[in-house]
Amino acid sequence: MRYRQVGMMDNCEWCSLSEEDRRFLVCESAAWSVFLSDEQDYIGRCILVLKRHCSSLPELTDDEWSELRELVCKMEAALKAVFGAAVCNWSCLMNSFYKESAPDPHLHIHVRPRYDHPVTLGGNTYCDGEFGHHYALHKSAAIPDSDREEVFARLKERLSR
Ligand SMILES: [Zn+2]
């Protein structure tokens, strides 16, 4: 069993994040890392990644749940304060892992802030045209690097208080 766990971790990209992958870390707790997502289809979108290899919510320990609760509160407060998010959409999906013949998911949770007003960054305006509805699956997720850096800096600054 122990050998199998080591093998699983070796093959898991979430268990072996590079320094480059970790560059957009906005905050962390003992059990979780929070990164600004590559996809910024909703400004401030982040991903919470459990630091250990674990496949599902029912397998979380009490301490991990407790830290997750604190992070949910902290992230919602920051996204509302910094960008004026009206609400946050939280999702734990992991569907892509199940395309494999032997699914071995690494638990992660997406948070998409939703906006009832345009958000302006570096002279660009971003709108949540689906506000009040399910988040869009094929919305443009690319924003200029300079805007992404600004989102990262503002969020990280707020979360470090
Ligand atoms: Zn893993």
Q: Which residue has the tokens 């604190």?
A: 70
Residue 11 CA to ligand 1 center (angstroms) comes to 8
What residue spans define the domains of the chain? 2-159
Q: Which fold has domain 2-159?
A: HIT family, subunit A (3.30.428)
Radius of gyration in angstroms for the set of CA atoms belonging to the chain, rounded to a whole number:
16
Q: Residue 1: pLDDT above 90?
A: no
Residue 107 CA to ligand 1 center (angstroms) comes to 8
Q: Which residue has the tokens 């301490």?
A: 63
Residue 124 CA to ligand 1 center (angstroms) comes to 36
Q: Which residue has the tokens 């949910």?
A: 72
pTM of the model: 0.92
Residue 81 CA to ligand 1 center (angstroms) comes to 32
Digit-coded pLDDT (tens) for 78-131: 999 999 999 999 999 999 999 989 999 999 999 999 999 999 999 999 999 999
Digit-coded pLDDT (tens) for 35-67: 999 999 999 999 999 999 999 999 999 999 999
**Residues 39, 113: contact at Cβ < 8 Å?**
no
Which pLDDT value is given to residue 135? 96
Digit-coded pLDDT (tens) for 123-156: 999 999 999 999 999 898 899 999 999 999 999 9
Question: Among positive and negative, which fits the CA dihedral 70, 71, 77, 78?
Answer: positive
